[in-house]
Structures are given as structure tokens and as C-alpha cells.
Amino acid sequence: MNPLANLFRVPELKKKIVFTVFILLIYRIGAHITVPGIDVGVLRLQFGTLQNTFLGVYDMFVGGGLSRATIFALGIMPYISASIMFQLLAAVIPTVEKMQKEGEDGRKKLTQWTRYTTVVLSIMQGYGYAVFLQSIPDAVRFPGFGFVFTTVVALTTGAVFIMWMGEQITEHGIGNGMSLMIFFSIIESFPAAVGRTWESLMVGEIGILALVMLVLVVIAVCAGVVAMTMSARKIPVQIPRKVIGRGRIQEGQKSFIPLRVNSAGVMPIIFAQSFIIIPGTLAAFSTWPPLRSLADLFQPQTWPYYVSYSVLILFFTYFYTSIIFNPVDLAENLKKQGAFIPGVKPGARTAEYIDRVLTRITLPGSIYLTLIALLPFFIFDIFNIQAFFFGGTSLLIVVGVGLDTVQQAQQLLLLRHYDGFMKKGRVKMRGRQRYM
């Protein structure tokens, strides 16, 4: 059976999809409402020179809201930053780590702290963005305290409203709301990019053969990203049989621990980008000659940029994997359940074994991330094309979120299938009882 045909046949799933689309529609409408007192034309011209800076990367994640100075210009990024902050703090602050292990109550406290931190970060980022807007000549019609205050309030309110909408999608919709918002912010620019590519083909800037080869390369890369995203190293786990109740014996079971080759996801590329664009960002707001020379040295499509970018991705892949995955906790949980890895002693030896396997599979994962991040630059050089929208970070996010959403839809369909089966079984049993 085709699952796509069944999406709207299941009432619960249909309701979730409609709710998600409705919230995302509100999100995209708000991403085109400009903050009062801004000349958008002047601002977009300024952002044309900031593509390789922090603001250019940030603008991609918010669907161009930053370059248009909309009320949703900050997007979901303050909430994502707050979440990552507490995730990293859990490795160094025992209180945060304890809350993560306290179950539902601890997660509620941590979520509340994350929300408060989101508001603080939104105020700080809103103020910095308002000051930046005032520094652009003729971009602000009436600069001053009134403009700064209005902009900070509008951007903070927009960021908090986006956080609320993301939580509503996660609770009542389909998929992770925060990830879906970033997903739609990225693909929002796909149609315009395809249109620019078509215009380049029409005026003869690129040939039809080069375009066909480029599309085939993109399809092959997407297939590779899907394969690597789904690939995992399965560690076998044996659960011994147990005696339950009055002599009842539960037979032993065999399971496995899936260790993903790319456990860190897209975060190493984001961290590496945040560091590699620091010289360009500082040079965009400074006239100091040494700083501008350093920024020119680390411009994209130069070998210092490629080498530094690769080293940063490799480093942050191992760093972030060590933060989000704790072999010691996993080994303790297996020991509490009476489970064990065949041929490995429970406890410290199990933790060492899992850590050794994770270290080995992280290396190909980090190399894969590096290739995905650098591949667009080489493709653009080979095919002499700059208009086609194809970035390593955006590709990983789009593919990852798409796969996660599809898996959640399939789980709901499967749940509905078994629920219907059980209902039919109960009806048959009632019929037999009546007959008897």
C-alpha cells in the first residue's frame, strides 16, 4: 500500500498535517512583515555584501527575514541557541546534568529555563540588530531611542511567538516544530534559485550539458546524504531470561544499540561556519588593514579557507559527539536492566567498548561531513555556476528533517493500522461471546 495515499485517510494524521501546515503558513506570513521605519531596498543592497559573514549565514536559517528586517527576523535561532547552551552546560555543570536525568519533572524545569534564556537572548540579539540597522546609511527613516525600543520589542515578541508555534507543532502537529521551521525557511529560497539558474541558462552563462551534469551530481549527493544519515553501527545486546511472578519465565531477547555514523548531525558544520566567518564579519565592520588582509586570506574558495574549515569540522564532530553521547551512562543502564554485550564484561569494560566503537565510526562520519560542506565550492568551480542553490549545511538539514518527518508519519500510520486491527479483534470476540 502507498503510505502517501493514506495520509489524509487517517483522521488523526490528517488533523496533525493540517495543523502543521496552518502554523507554518502563519510563520511564513510573519516572515514578510517588516519592522516599522525600515527602507528594505537599502537594507537588501547592504546584505548583498554580507553573504560570507555571520549575518549572511544567519539569514539563511531564518528564510531571508534578517535581510528584510521582518518581525520574525530572529527566527527560531534564539531558542536553538539556548537549547544548545544547556546541552553543552550539562557536560560541565552537575545541576543541569541532574535535571536531564530526573525524568519528566527535570525536563520541564530545563524547558522553562530554556524559554527564559530564549527571551534574554532575543532581547540581546534584537538590540544588536537594531544598532546595526542604524549604522547603515538611509536604512532607518527615524533613528533614535524610539526606533531601537520598537525594534527590540517587535523582534523579541516575534521570537517568543515563533518558539510557542514550534512547541505547538511538536505537541499537536507532525514532526519536530523547531526543525520544520528551519526546514521551510531554507527551502523558501529554492524556487527563486531555480529561476535564477533558468535565467542563466537562457542568457548562455551555463550550458545545457553542464546543467544536466550538475542536476545529476546533486541527486547523487542527496542519495549519499540519505544513506549516511540512516547508516548506523549496530552493537548486539543480549537480555537474559527472567523469572516473573509465580514461576513465569520470560525468555531472553536479542536486541542491538544503533550507533549512527553521523551522530552529531549538522551541528559540526554550523559550529565550524560560526568560527570560519569571524574574520569576514569583523572586517565588514572595520577598516583596519591587517584585519581586512586576514579576512581576504580566509575567503571562500581559497586553500586556507578549505583547510581551516575541514579541521574545524573534524574537531567539532568529535567534540559534539562526546557531548551528546555518554558511553558510561549507557553502560550503567544496560547493567541495571541485566543486559550485556556478548563477549564484553558489564560496567566499565562495556563503556570502554562502546566508546572505542563510537570513536572509530565518528572518523568516517566527520570525513563525510567535511566532503558535504566543501563539495558545493568544488562543484561551482567545475561547472562555473553560482546561481544554483546547493549548500552542504542546508542540504543536511533538509534531508535530515525530511527523513525524520517521514518516519514519524509512518509510525502514526503503523500505530493506526495496529489500533484498527485490535479494534476488529475486540469486535469479533464480543460477537463470539454473544453467540455463546
Q: pLDDT band for position 284 (50/70/90)?
A: low
One DSSP character per residue, 9-31 reads TSHHHHHHHHHHHHHHHHHHHHT
Separation of alpha carbons 157 and 160, rounded Å: 5
- For 35-66, write each residue's pLDDT tens digit: 888 888 888 777 766 665 667 677 777 877 88
Angle subtended at Cα 312 by Cα 306 and Cα 315, rounded to the nearest 5 degrees: 140
What is the reported pLDDT for 64?
A: 77
Phi, psi of 243 (to 5 degrees): -100, 120
What average pLDDT does range 219-232 have in this prediction?
Answer: 82
Q: How far is CA 32 from the centre of its chain?
A: 22
> How many Cβ atoms sit within 10 Å of the Cβ of residue 160?
17
What is the reported pLDDT for 3?
A: 57
What is the reported pLDDT for 246?
A: 61
182 exposure class (CB count in 10 Å sphere: 0-12, 13-18, 19+): buried
Among 3-7, 129-133, 143-147, 258-262, where is mean pLDDT lowest?
3-7
Which of 80, 90, 92 lies closest to 121, judged by CA?
A: 80
What is the reported pLDDT for 150?
A: 92
Asked if 367 and 310 touch (Cβ cutoff 8 Å), the reply is no
Among 246-250, 258-262, 267-271, where is mean pLDDT lowest?
246-250
What percentage of the chain exceeds 90 in pLDDT?
A: 5
HSE-CB at 122 with a 13 A cutoff on CA atoms is 29
Residue for grid cell 540588530: 129
pLDDT at 247 over 80: no
- Containing 376, the helix (H) or strand (E) segment is helix 348-383
- Containing 233, the helix (H) or strand (E) segment is strand 232-239
Residues ≥6 apart with Cβ < 8 Å to 297: 279, 304
**Pairing between β-strand 242-244 and β-strand 248-250 as defined by DSSP bridges:** antiparallel
Between 260 and 407, whose confidence is greater?
Answer: 260
What is the reported pLDDT for 6?
A: 65
Separation of alpha carbons 147 and 404, rounded Å: 41
Asked if 175 and 401 touch (Cβ cutoff 8 Å), the reply is yes
Asked if 278 and 57 touch (Cβ cutoff 8 Å), the reply is no
What average pLDDT does range 370-385 have in this prediction?
Answer: 75
Record the cell numbers describing residue 429, joined without a space: 470476540
Q: pLDDT band for position 157 (50/70/90)?
A: very high
Q: What is the largest CA-CA distance in the chain?
A: 94
Q: pLDDT band for position 154 (50/70/90)?
A: very high
pLDDT at 357 over 80: yes
Q: What is the DSSP letter of 253?
A: E
One DSSP character per residue, 73-95 reads TTTTHHHHHHHHHHHHHTTT-HH
Separation of alpha carbons 59 and 64, rounded Å: 5
257 exposure class (CB count in 10 Å sphere: 0-12, 13-18, 19+): middle
- Containing 254, the helix (H) or strand (E) segment is strand 253-260
Q: pLDDT band for position 431 (50/70/90)?
A: very low
Separation of alpha carbons 436 and 427, rounded Å: 14
Write the Ramachandran bin of 93: left for phi over 0, alpha for psi from -120 to 50, otherwise beta.
Answer: beta
What is the reported pLDDT for 50?
A: 61
- For 285-339, write each residue's pLDDT tens digit: 666 677 677 777 767 777 888 888 888 889 888 888 888 888 888 888 888 877 8
- For 9-37, write each residue's pLDDT tens digit: 777 788 888 898 899 899 888 888 888 88
Rounded to the nearest integer, the mean pLDDT of the chain is 79
- What are the helix and strand counts (H, E) for the chain? 19, 4
pLDDT at 73 over 50: yes
pLDDT at 187 over 60: yes
One DSSP character per residue, 66-78 reads HHHTBTTTTTTHH
Asked if 83 and 170 touch (Cβ cutoff 8 Å), the reply is no
Buried b (16+ CB within 10 A) or exposed e, 201-216: beeeebeeeebeebee
259 exposure class (CB count in 10 Å sphere: 0-12, 13-18, 19+): buried
Q: pLDDT band for position 436 (50/70/90)?
A: very low
pLDDT at 424 over 60: no
pLDDT at 168 over 80: yes
Between 279 and 344, whose confidence is greater?
Answer: 344
Which of 86, 179, 161 lies closest to 122, judged by CA?
A: 161
Residue 219's identity, in one-letter code, is: I
